[in-house]
Chain A
Amino acid sequence: MSPGQTNPDMQTKPSLPEAPAETAWADLVEKIKSDDAAGMEELYRVFSKGVRFYLYRQVGPQDLEDKIHDTFLIVAQAIRRGELREPERLMGFVRTVVRRQVAAQIDENVQNRRRNAELDSGLAVRDVRKNPEQDAIDRQHHQIAWKVLNSISERDREVLVRFYLREQTPDEICEEMGLTETQFRLLKSRAKARFAELGRRQMNHSKLFRFWREITGSAHT
Chain B
Amino acid sequence: MKRHVDDEQLEQYSMGNLSEEELTELEEHLLLCGECQERLTEIDAYTQAMRSASTALRSRGTARAYESKTQALFRKLTVPKLAWASAVAAAVIAVTITGGRRDSAGPVAVFLTATRGAELPAAVAPPNTPLTLTLDLTDIPASPRYLVDVVDSTGRQIVRSEAARQGNRLLISTPKLPVGLYFVRLYSSGDLLREYGLRIDQSGAHERSLEDPSL
Contacts and interface: CB of A to CB of B under 8 A. Distances in A.
Contact of B120 (A5, A126, A185): A126
A17 interface: yes
B134 to A, nearest CB: 9
Most buried by B among A113, A142, A157: A142
Taking residues whose C-beta sits less than 8 angstroms from the other chain, chain B's interface range is: 35 or more
Contacts of A106: 114-115, 194-195
A94 B28 CA distance: 9
Nearest to A123: B153
A17 B121 CA distance: 39
Given A11-B7, A20-B33, A121-B154, A6 B54 contact: no
Q: Tell me the interface secondary structure of chain A in the complex.
A: helix
A62 B48 CA distance: 22
A6 B117 contact: no
B2 interface: yes
A100 to B, nearest CB: 12
B30 A54 contact: yes
A121 B151 CA distance: 13
A164 B40 CA distance: 16
Interface residues of A, number: 75
Interface in B30-56: 30-37, 39-56
B120 A50 contact: no
B72 interface: no
A13 B1 CA distance: 16
Interface string A62-76: 110000000000000
A167 B114 contact: no
A165 B30 contact: no
B55 A165 contact: yes
Nearest to A127: B120
A17 to B, nearest CB: 7
9 contacts: A18-B3, A22-B2, A50-B31, A106-B114, A127-B120, A139-B215, A141-B45, A149-B50, A164-B50
